[in-house]
Structure 1
Amino acid sequence: MCTTRDLTGKMFTFPAESNTAHVVLVPPTQIRTLTAVTVCLRFFSDLTSRAQPLFSLTTRANIDNVFLIMKETNNNYNIWVNDMYVTFKAMEDIQNQWNSVCATWDSKTGLAQLWVNGKPSARKGVNRGRTISEEASIVLGQDQDSFGGGFNKGDSFEGMLTDVHMWDSVLSYSELALYMNRIPLTHNGNVINWESLDFTYEGYVIVEDQVSSMI
């Protein structure tokens, strides 16, 4: 059963490489059709030897990589939308420090953009005119290769995640800047809201206080 909690000041810790440890995030209402997306989160990790997923959304109709934020090596990131992806290079995240990441995509224009630690990427086009529809599975800690599963430990996340929000719109630059600077927004995520989060978790995942010296 889902637990609904205000996770302000908390984090999910994924202490080890695993093909089981994951968190399932449950929207307050079932996703029907998304024509735009913003996902924001913060992560802390020392892993540099391989790629790791920061956020994974799949649907029953289109299983793989419906909306996926994948941190690659060498400070590169991929944003996947309906099995196609664009790469954002040299985004300057920092090992062993909290990094703030926001990813946006708009179906009408096809434009995707990534923000890392206050700095925006170039805009790039991916899957213009497509939408995200049908029942969704949203997972932290793993890259879904099937609906809610298909996990591979070589694609798992190692570290800590916090302040996860998702909106069904593209946030303005001013709103993204507020998130980057840890200033409260006028409205939290309306699909996923860290301050009122429905979630379950399995495997080696710990919900714990953020350590102030890390922030």
Structure 2
Amino acid sequence: MRALFVALLLSYASGSGKAAGASGAKGNRFVCTAVPAGTDLSCPVETTNRVQSTSPQEEELRNTIIQLRETILQQKETIVSQQGTIKELNSKLARCEADARSRGNARRKDYSKNTMGDLPRDPTETVEQLGKTMQSLKDRLENLEQLRANTTGGMFPNELRDLLKRRLTDLESQLLTRVAELEEEKSQLYNETTAHRQRTENTLNSLLERITELEKSNSAFKSPEDFKVSLPLRTNYLYGRIKKSLPEMYAFTVCMWLKSSASPGIGTPFSYGVPGQANEIVLIEWGNSPMELLVNDKVAQLPLAVSDGRWHHICITWTTRDGFWEAYQDGERLGTGENLAPWHPIKPGGVIILGQEQDIVGGRFDATQAFVGELSHFNMWDRVLRPIDISAMANCSAYMPGNVVPWVDANVEVFGGATKAALEICEDRLFDS
């Protein structure tokens, strides 16, 4: 009985809705249908003997209502999508404005720095990026309009289209304003860069002119050998360098003029290093130790004393046969010895440094071992000179340039503040005495 009552109610509701839509109905007609117990009453019950009570007009009206409902749902979905797009456009616009402000502040901050070579970023990139963003927004708008046309067969509602156009117009105006600001900043930056570059070029030109003058003055010696190298400070960066290297040698003689009053020890007048042996040939007076000669890192002490602030001529000879050596000061032989690296040939292809002791070939100097003073007429031979020749050079009665390393201006480089100056050694020596 309960199921029958529910079925009557459903039938009545359906029939009354149709009857209300028909203008010519005189009354209501009810149809009772038996429903088995346990049937789901939420679903309509199809019957074969149901009496047709709707007219064609009612059926058409019902279809129209259904279509209107679907259209309303589609319109709602489109509006929600358009609202999301508007929010996205607003968000992008806010990011563009924030990015433009941050870039402007960063650029103004960078302009206050006086740098050489570190220039601010070219504003053209920012303009291109804003242009790309603008074109992307326009493309989105066209896509939305196309989507709306495909969905409903019409365009955006006038209000939404006008709102988007106003937004795009505002964004275009802001973009043009920003472009004008960037162009002005670019022009200002170019002017500042040009002035800075001009100042830099003027400074470099002045330095080049000064260097040229110094080079001319240094090369204006009466003869190529009449000059000295000055190393006034005990540092690890003042030194001279001989451009020529040594061949393989089984004997040598090295002579030079020295003037130093450094204490304790005059340092290292010269050193010769080769790959694998930085102490191939070294002359050094370090600390309170006497002057030493190193050959292949083997040591011999020399009875020389040259730290009185006067010019002294010293010569050292060595031969691989029994490692025999001799030491001369001011033309007089003061000491000899043997067993200094016997039967060891001097290796070729190394570097000769004036004023520093090498820990690696050509570098890693120690300031405590640096020579302090003046040095001139550094010559080297691949044989042992006769005592008479050494005495003649010390007495200024003869001059013999080295056959392996001669003392000439073009063969000597100076670095780190070391200087070359004109010198007539014999006249200077007479003046000292």
CA distance in 1, matches of 2:318, 2:248: 14
Quickly say closer, same or farther: Cα 1:92–1:199, change in 2 above 3 A.
closer
- 3-state SS of the aligned residue for 1:102? strand
1:208 maps to 2:421: yes
* Runs of 4+ that moved beyond 3 A: 3-7, 72-75, 211-215
Structure 2: 5+ residue runs without aligned partners? 1-217
Partner residue, 1:93: 306
The answer to whether the 8 Å contact 2:264/2:286 transfers is no
Give the distance between the partners of 1:45 and 1:94, measured in 2 at CA.
5
> Over residues 77-116 of structure 1, what are the superposed CA-to-partner deviations in whole Å (9 max), with x where a residue is unaligned?
2110001010023x34351100111111101231011111
Structure 2 equivalent of residue 55 of structure 1: 270
| Aligned AA (1:15) | P
Q: For 1:46-195, what aligned pairs fall within 5 Å after superposition?
A: 46-63=261-278, 65-72=279-286, 76-89=290-303, 91-93=304-306, 95-125=308-338, 126-185=340-399, 187-195=400-408
Say if 2:233 is the partner of 1:19.
no
Larger Rg: 2
Q: 1:136 to 1:107 in 2, by over 3 A?
A: same
Quote the Cα distance in structure 2 between the aligned partners of 1:74 and 1:142: 18
Aligned pair in 2 of structure 1 residues 69, 42: CA closer, same or farther (>3 Å)? Answer: same
- Cα RMSD (Å) of the superposition? 2.3
Q: Secondary structure at the match of 1:46?
A: coil
In structure 1, stretches of 5+ residues that fail to align are: none
Q: Which residue of structure 2 lines up, in the alignment, with residue 45 of structure 1?
A: 260
Contact residue 269 and residue 354 of structure 2 kept, 8 A: yes
For each residue in 1:142-173, what CA deviation from the matched residue of structure 2 results, as whole angstroms up to 9, or x when unmatched? Answer: 01111000101111011100111011111011
SS state of the match for residue 133, structure 1? coil
Q: Matched residues in 2 for 1:154 and 1:70: separation?
A: 11
Structure 1 stretch displaced more, 46-55 or 102-111: 46-55
Deviates most, 194-203 or 51-60: 194-203
3-state SS, counterpart of residue 33 of structure 1: coil
Percent identity between the two aligned chains: 21
How far is 1:123 from its partner? 1.4
Instruction: Name the counterpart of 2:195.
Output: none
TM-score (norm 1): 0.88
Structure with the bigger RCO (C-alpha within 8 Å, sep 6+) is 1
- Please tell me the residue identity of whatever aligns with 2:240: V
One-letter code of the match for 2:397? I
Whole-Å separation in 2 of the counterparts to 1:203 and 1:140: 12
8 Å Cα contact 2:265-2:289 kept in structure 1 = no
TM-score (norm 2): 0.45
In 1: Cα distance, 2:275 partner to 2:329 partner: 30
1:178 is paired with a residue whose SS is: helix
Contact in 2 for aligned 1:42/1:163 (Cα 8 Å): yes
Q: Distance in 1 between matches of 2:297 and 2:404?
A: 21
Give the number of the structure whose residues are more often strand, by fraction.
1
The 1-side partners of 2:272 and 2:387 are apart by: 24
- How far apart are the structure 2 equivalents of 1:134 and 1:111? 20
Whole-Å separation in 1 of the counterparts to 2:373 and 2:288:
17
Q: CA deviation at 1:196?
A: 6.0
Structure 1 CA distance for aligned equivalents of residues 262 and 363 of structure 2: 23
Contact 2:260-2:306 within 8 A present in 1 as well: no
2:387 partner letter: Y
CA distance in 1, matches of 2:313, 2:288: 17
Deviation at 1:17, TM superposition (A): 1.1
CA distance in 2: counterparts of 1:62 and 1:93, whole angstroms: 28
